[in-house]
Amino acid sequence: MQKFIECTGKTEDAAIAAALEQLGLAREEVSVEVLELAKPGFLGIGGTPAKVKVSYEAPDEEPVVENPIVEEPVPAPAEESGPEEREELPPVPAASPVPANEEVAGRINEFLTGLLAQMEVNAAPRISVDQEGNYLVELVGEELGSIIGRRGETLDAIQQLTGYAVNKGLSHRVRVRIDAEGYRSKREETLERMARRTAEKAVRFRRNVTLEPMNAYERHVIHTALQDYPDVSTYSIGTDPNRRTVVAYAPGEHR
Angle at 241 between CA 65 and CA 212, to 5 degrees: 35
Beta bridge partners of 72: 208
Q: How many CB atoms lie within 10 A of CB 93?
A: 12
What's the pLDDT band for 21 if we cut at 50, 70, 90?
Answer: confident
Average pLDDT of span 187-207: 94
pLDDT number for residue 181: 92
CB–CB of 35/16 below 8 Å?
A: no
Provide the pLDDT for residue 197: 94
Could you tell me which residue, 58 or 94, shows the higher pLDDT? 58
Q: How far apart (Å, rounded) are the C-alpha atoms in residues 239 and 243?
A: 5
pLDDT band at 65 (very low <50, low <70, confident <90, very high): very low
Residue 232 near residue 203, CB atoms below 8 Å:
yes
d(CA 51, CA 53): 7
Q: Nearest Cα to 85, choosing from 160, 21, 152, 25?
A: 25
For the chain, domains (ranges, CATH) are 2-57 (no CATH), 68-91+185-249 (3.30.1370.50), 102-181 (3.30.300.20)
Amino acid, single-letter form, for residue 62:
E
| Prediction pTM value | 0.54
pLDDT confidence bin for 229, thresholds 50/70/90: very high
Residue 60 confidence (pLDDT) above 90: no
Cis peptide preceding 99, ω within 30 of 0: no
Q: pLDDT tens across 84-124, in order?
A: 444 444 454 444 455 678 899 999 999 999 999 999 999 99
pLDDT at 196: 95
What single-letter DSSP state applies at residue 229?
Answer: -
